[in-house]
Amino acid sequence: MSLTVGNPEIYDPKKILQHPEFRVLNPGEKPPGTANIAAFYNPAHEIHLVEKPKPKPGPGQVLIHVRATGICGSDVHFWKHGGIGSMIVTDECGSGHESAGEIIEVGEGVTEWKAGDRVAMEVGVPCSKCDACKIGRYNGCPDVVFFSTPPYHGTLTRWHVHPAEWLHRLPDNVSFEEGSLCEPLAVALAGIDRAGLRLGDPVIICGAGPIGLVSLLSARAAGAEPIIITDLFQSRLDFAKSLVPGVRTVMIDRNASPKDQAEVIKKVAGVPLKLALECTGVESSIQTAIFSVGFGAKVFIIGVGRNEQLFPFMHLSANEIDLQFQYRYANQYPKAIRLIAGGLINVKPLVTHRFALEEAIAAFHVAADPTQGAIKVQILD
């Protein structure tokens, strides 16, 4: 399928690094507007612009002019910390996986797309043959090529070749920026879907970063009430309130124990919480979520964090609290686009900063600096 058809060189990260046209740009260098520049990180925790060859779409592939890309916390993490869990940065690697763009050229055999079509790119390209793929849970594919997860280069670039079957058409009323925000939205929607959230469910969302905020928008659209959101920073809680005025906010006190913190949350909720959407991956926050919810509730963990963490086992057991986890997403893009196009979810306010592709490194510095107050930094071309 996708990866075995067409020009395999586009998926071979080593071949791109060894290509004679691959080079790291000098700081301040202004490449021509047609150059295929990209933001790459490396094991030395550097981030820089590179120039790489403009790819040709092979059979089953299309060439895309990437028009909008959001910076995800994981891009910053790969740059600053050199890995996430077992995904380790061992060489130069291209960043970016929240992207939308315009088709420029189609490869042989591609009939469903033409130049000028506007698309959101689903960047996890699975094998289609393994058990996970066959049951439709392709986010579990062990052979997935996830652009921007090492070693595969990302979509924060000008020209990107993509398998035609992993693109989603953007309706006229959905912008490239919104198309790129379908990626984090897909994470939240997968969580809402698998958590089984229902109309009127009392919900807590832990963490008001981009993932907590798209989860908030999704939970509101799904009819959760009341919704409580937590964070360590008042500015993030204020942002949540501006997005969904009805949300109740709780500032987490770093010195309070998860049990004491949970008592505050229970008072604010006023009713037993049925679901926690945990969007930090921080051990104390997960513990707080566990102590906050009612008997028979679910703590659904979207955040990722330390490899090993302690959970209050007997509290979970004696309260029949289900723990569940989300790894990326499957089958969520069409839904994300429908919800944005139909006006049920408005992701536009999440974009707080915009940069040109040539300014991508400055964009990364803003995204990585909490004092800048960024929610979603976008790179536009």
Ligand X SMILES: OC[C@H](O)C(O)[C@@H](O)CO
Query: In the complex, which residues of this chain contact ligand X (CB under 6 A)?
Result: 72, 74, 84, 87, 146, 149, 183, 187, 328
Give which of ligand NAD, ligand X, Zn ion, none residue 146 binds (C-beta under 5 to 8 Å, depending on kind): ligand X
Q: Is 279 in the site for ligand NAD (CB under 6 A)?
A: yes
CB of 86 to ligand X, least distance (A): 10
Give the ranges where 208-272 is alpha helix by DSSP (H): 210-221, 234-243, 258-269
81 close to 298: Cβ distance less than 8 angstroms: no
CB of 329 to ligand X, least distance (A): 8
Binding ligand NAD (rule: CB under 6 A), the pick from 209, 274, 276, 330 is 209
The stretch among 125-133, 219-227, 314-322, 342-350 that binds Zn ion (CB under 5 A) is 125-133
Binding Zn ion (rule: CB under 5 A), the pick from 62, 63, 72, 229 is 72
Q: Which is nearer to ligand NAD, 6 or 303 (CB)?
A: 303
Q: Is 182 in the site for Zn ion (CB under 5 A)?
A: no
Reduced to 3 states (helix: H, G, I; strand: E, B; else coil), residue 347 is coil
185 close to 218: Cβ distance less than 8 angstroms: yes
Q: Is 206 in the site for ligand NAD (CB under 6 A)?
A: yes
94 close to 177: Cβ distance less than 8 angstroms: no
Give which of ligand NAD, Zn ion, ligand X, none residue 126 binds (C-beta under 5 to 8 Å, depending on kind): Zn ion
Which residue's Cβ lies closest to ligand NAD?
A: 209
Strands of the sheet with 23-24, listed across from one edge: 23-24, 47-51, 37-41, 93-94
Whole-angstrom CA distances from 354 to 49, 186, 331, 346 are 17, 22, 29, 18
Binding ligand NAD (rule: CB under 6 A), the pick from 73, 140, 294, 334 is 73
Binding ligand NAD (rule: CB under 6 A), the pick from 181, 302, 330, 367 is 302
Q: Which is nearer to ligand X, 96 or 101 (CB)?
A: 96
Whole-angstrom CA distances from 263 to 60, 228, 327, 338 are 56, 13, 30, 38
107 close to 59: Cβ distance less than 8 angstroms: yes
CB of 305 to ligand X, least distance (A): 11
Longest dimension (CA), the chain: 64
Q: Is 98 in the site for ligand NAD (CB under 6 A)?
A: no
CB of 73 to ligand X, least distance (A): 7
For residue 38, the one-letter residue type is A
Give which of Zn ion, ligand NAD, ligand X, none residue 208 binds (C-beta under 5 to 8 Å, depending on kind): ligand NAD
DSSP 375: S
Q: Is 121 in the site for Zn ion (CB under 5 A)?
A: no
Q: Which helix (H) or strand (E) holds 43?
A: none
274 close to 319: Cβ distance less than 8 angstroms: no
Q: Which is nearer to ligand X, 61 or 326 (CB)?
A: 326
Q: Is 127 in the site for Zn ion (CB under 5 A)?
A: yes
Q: Is 141 in the site for Zn ion (CB under 5 A)?
A: yes
What residues contact 32, with CB distance under 8 A and at least 6 apart? none
Give which of Zn ion, ligand NAD, ligand X, none residue 319 binds (C-beta under 5 to 8 Å, depending on kind): none
Q: Is 186 in the site for ligand NAD (CB under 6 A)?
A: no
Binding Zn ion (rule: CB under 5 A), the pick from 35, 49, 106, 133 is 133
Q: Is 126 in the site for Zn ion (CB under 5 A)?
A: yes
Q: Is 130 in the site for Zn ion (CB under 5 A)?
A: yes
Is the bond preceding residue 151 a cis peptide, omega within 30 degrees? yes
Tokens 């509730």, residue located? 297
Nearest alpha-carbon partner for 279 in 70, 69, 71, 73: 73
Tokens 């612009």, residue located? 49
Q: Which is nearer to ligand X, 89 or 222 (CB)?
A: 89
Query: How many residues are recorded in the chain?
Result: 381
CB count, 10 Å around CB of 266? Answer: 18
25 close to 37: Cβ distance less than 8 angstroms: yes
Nearest alpha-carbon partner for 334 in 106, 122, 111: 122
CB of 49 to Zn ion, least distance (A): 21
Residues that bind ligand NAD (CB under 6 A): 73-74, 187, 206-212, 230-233, 236, 252, 279-282, 284-285, 302-304, 326-328
Residues that bind Zn ion (CB under 5 A): 72, 74, 126-127, 130, 133, 141
